[in-house]
Amino acid sequence: MSARKKISLYAVLGAILLFLGCNSLIAPLVYFAKPFGGRVIDAESLQPIEGAVVVAEWRPYYLLFVDRSTPMKVVETVTDAQGNYSFPGWGPRLRLWTERLDVCDPELAVFKMGYKARLEVNERSRNTYVRASDWDGVELELEPFRGTPAERLHEFEYILSETAWDLQMPTRLGREMLKESPLAVSAAKPFFDGVDRLTRKGP
């Protein structure tokens, strides 16, 4: 190899190392998540809600744009007879160099037939490689839903607009939503057909 080619190779390698070094200063190269859990209760009776679906989503931001990327991790579970739920920790998970986790994650969605859905995000910004939930150990109250079918459809559409589930619906959440399809107005049929299709893509 000629001296000129060696210099060019070293320059490229140096630029790559410099870029990786600067990128690691912006955000951690790998992420871990702490295990967390909580309890879901009825907002009126304060009794535990069994069978509520809880979804946790870690969704990064693009570094150069004020926009969200595809989820890094999505997990779901259901509450037990005491209303308790838990998620295990995970990691290490290598991030893409174009994105990072910052605020919001993990985002929580809690849903049970007959109740208003609840969406929660972390409220403290943290640029750390170990992710933790602000809602660990917190009781989440669900209010009974007493609106019209059209209002319920609007709520469902809002849930999908605030999440990344327009490509693949978490399986348990989709099945819980589909329980309400016989009660919906006829205009909601395309929506529930879409939920059914997205749910079938799930694991």
Question: Do residues 116 and 143 touch, judged by C-beta distance below 8 A?
Answer: yes
**Helix, strand, or coil (residue 78):** strand
Report how far residue 74's alpha carbon sits from residue 148's, in angstroms, rounded to the nearest whole number.
Answer: 30
All structural domains of the chain:
28-146 (2.60.40.1120)
Give the residues across from 85 on adjacent strands: 38
- Going through the chain in order, the beta strands assigned E by DSSP cover 30-33, 36-42, 53-58, 61-62, 73-78, 84-87, 90-94, 99-100, 107-111, 118-120, 130-131, 139-142
Rounded to whole angstroms, what are the CA distances from 58 to 33, 46, 108, 137?
9, 29, 9, 19
- The pLDDT, as a whole number, for residue 6 is 53
Q: Provide long-range contacts, Cβ within 8 A and 24+ apart, for 61-67.
A: 61/99, 61/100, 61/101, 61/102, 62/98, 62/99, 63/26, 63/27, 63/97, 63/98, 63/99, 63/100, 64/98
- The pLDDT, as a whole number, for residue 27 is 72
Asked if residue 24 has pLDDT above 50, the reply is no
Report how far residue 60's alpha carbon sits from residue 72's, in angstroms, rounded to the nearest whole number.
Answer: 7
Count of all residues that appear for the chain in the document: 203
Q: For residue range 154-188, list pLDDT tens digits in order.
A: 888 888 777 766 556 778 888 888 888 776 656 67
Q: For residue range 41-100, list pLDDT tens digits in order.
A: 999 999 999 999 999 998 887 766 556 677 888 899 999 999 999 999 998 988 877 787
> Would you place residue 11 in the very low, low, confident or very high pLDDT band (cuts 50, 70, 90)?
very low
